[in-house]
Amino acid sequence: MENFTLLSIGPIVVATIIATVSGLWVTFGLPVIWKKRLIQSVNKEHRATQKPGKSSSKARLTLRNYFEQAFYVIVCALATVATLFLVANRISVWYGSWDDLFNRLEHDATIHAVTTTPTTNEGIDPRSTESQQPSDSQAGTPVAENSNTPSASANARPAAQTPVEFSELQKAPLNNPVLARYQKEKRGVWIRARINGQGELGEGKTLIYLPPSYLSEPNRAYSVLISLHGIPGSAMEFRDALDVDRYYGKTVREGTTAEAIIVVPEPFPRNLDTECMDIPGVSMETWLTTTLPNWLKQNLRTKDDRNYWAMEGYSAGGWCTAMLTVRHPEIFGAGIIKAGYFAPIYAEGKEWHDPQDPRYLLREVVKDKPKVKLFVVTGKQDWVFRDSYEEFRANVKYPTELTEYEVPGSTHRWEIYRQSSIPAYEWLGKNLPGFATSSSGK
């Protein structure tokens, strides 16, 4: 039965055959049979009246014929839809198994720290996590990180801050001509901007969310969360599908996270699979790590401190988040990776670098022990995405800190992205000083 798992080629072949046969039957088989039946019916009636060609009766399709045709049309349509779904699922891994598809797996995720701050001295192996695993009685129940551990309590302290003088345009962003297009809502303000510098193939389209207090507290600096979508995709998905402002705002209202500016750029202009790298025509890595942060610091009220800068992303955006965070720890203090991968997956004909280039194999990059904190949303049935993650995880050591949010099935779908949002933002508030509630208003 291995050839008929959800991700194998067997079900695709069977569904394709059923769709093809039923389609040909409806298009060619049934009309031929009906034509023969009608001719036979007319000839029989003519012979009965002994007046060939002068019968007033007309051959008609019966109700049975219509039901017969409708049945095969429905079979063909369902098989076609099933084929398309199975192909798309094999590529994107929305569901890892039949049990995952039919919701027969355990529903709850588990959260545990893979690496943490050493508790006594540097000689202790920080990857020892036996005491952090959920007990049998807790299996299937989300396990929050212990806020009393040295990692959580120490990291929650806000970093020392120097008073910053802001310009008038930083204090009143709605008067800034580069931020002219905005939409005020109850939960804050969404602004559209075009930030140049990506290159001749780039667009620089960027969505920016300002929290509710941003307009009323003109002397306050805010942390920045850069959110990266997948491919194909759009920045609007974070606002409309993932409700990032609503989920993040919920953790703010519950007192677990400080308000932050949320920035949603387009890392894949015109759906070009940049892998967030500097490639011919688009300097995406440079733009995301230099141009964009500098633009935000110039136009908005931010802190020039890695403890106030974090990234999040899903799918290809999850890869970008992992790659940019571990390669640029001087800029970003933390990353939230949802259903991402940890080695580049190049589109055919778009191999920007050698697939074995150690600069972009994160299992190699992390051996340098970048001082960053990572929250990884992964599934036991994430297929190829899981393989690269396990290779990466095996090489993570302190001071790189890794927390894992694991679901029983696959994670490559909206419901998992949304489900993991609040735990991820709560984790961010506990582990990065700039996002801790004690840093609010400082």
What pLDDT sits at residue 138?
A: 34
Angle at 158 between CA 156 and CA 162, to 5 degrees: 170
**Mean pLDDT rounded to a whole number for the chain:** 82
Judged against a pLDDT cut of 50, whether residue 277 lies above it is answered with: yes
Structure-model confidence comparison of residues 408 and 28, the more confident one = 408
What pLDDT sits at residue 428?
A: 97
What pLDDT sits at residue 347?
A: 84
Which among 193, 200, 295, 185 has a CA at the least distance from the CA of 240? 185
- Rounded distance, CA 23 to CA 74, Å? 10
Structure-model confidence comparison of residues 187 and 354, the more confident one = 354
The answer to whether 409 touches 382, Cβ cutoff 8 Å, is: no
What pLDDT sits at residue 126?
A: 37
- Rounded distance, CA 387 to CA 410, Å? 13
Rounded to an integer, what is the distance from CA 28 to the centroid of its chain?
44
Judged against a pLDDT cut of 70, whether residue 69 lies above it is answered with: yes
Assessment of whether the complete model's pTM goes beyond 0.85: no
Both structure tokens of 21 = 């046969």
What pLDDT sits at residue 255?
A: 94
Judged against a pLDDT cut of 70, whether residue 441 lies above it is answered with: no
- pLDDT band of 276, cuts 50, 70, 90: very high
What pLDDT sits at residue 150?
A: 34
What is the arithmetic mean of pLDDT over 226-254? 93
What is the arithmetic mean of pLDDT over 333-353? 92
Structure-model confidence comparison of residues 335 and 240, the more confident one = 335
What pLDDT sits at residue 301?
A: 95
β-pair type (260-265, 278-279)? unpaired
Structure-model confidence comparison of residues 259 and 441, the more confident one = 259
Using the CB atoms, write b or e for 56-67: b if 16+ within 10 Å: eeeeeeeeeeee
The answer to whether 112 touches 404, Cβ cutoff 8 Å, is: yes
What pLDDT sits at residue 43?
A: 67
Judged against a pLDDT cut of 70, whether residue 242 lies above it is answered with: yes
What pLDDT sits at residue 147?
A: 35
Question: Cα Rg for the chain, rounded, in angstroms?
Answer: 29
What pLDDT sits at residue 29?
A: 79
Residue 116 corresponds to which amino acid? T
Q: Which of 96-100, 259-263, 352-356 has the lowest mean pLDDT?
A: 96-100
What pLDDT sits at residue 1?
A: 54
Three-state SS letters, the chain = CHHHCCCCCHHHHHHHHHHHHHHHHHHHHHHHHHHHHHHHHHHHHHHHHCCCCCCCCCCCCCHHHHHHHHHHHHHHHHHHHHHHHHHHHHHHCCCCCHHHHCCCCCCCCEEEECCCCCCCCCCCCCCCCHHHCCCHHHCCCCCCCCCCCHHHHHHCCCCCCCCCCCCHHHHCHHHCHHHCEEEEECCEEEEEEECCCCCCCCCCEEEEEECHHHCCCCCCCEEEEEEECCCCCCCHHHHHCCCHHHHHHHHHHCCCCCCEEEEEECCCHHHCCCCCCEECCEEHHHHHHHHHHHHHHHHCCECCCHHHEEEEEECHHHHHHHHHHHHCCCCCCEEEEECCCCCCCCCCCCCCCCCCCCCCCHHHHHHHCCCCEEEEEEECCCCHHHHHHHHHHCCCCCCCEEEEEEECCCCCCHHHHHHCHHHHHHHHHHHCHHHCHHHCCC
pLDDT tens-digit series, residues 115-154: 866 654 444 343 333 333 333 333 333 333 333 333 333 3
- Rounded distance, CA 216 to CA 298, Å? 19
Which among 135, 127, 133 has a CA at the least distance from the CA of 111? 133
- pLDDT band of 88, cuts 50, 70, 90: confident
- Rounded distance, CA 223 to CA 310, Å? 8
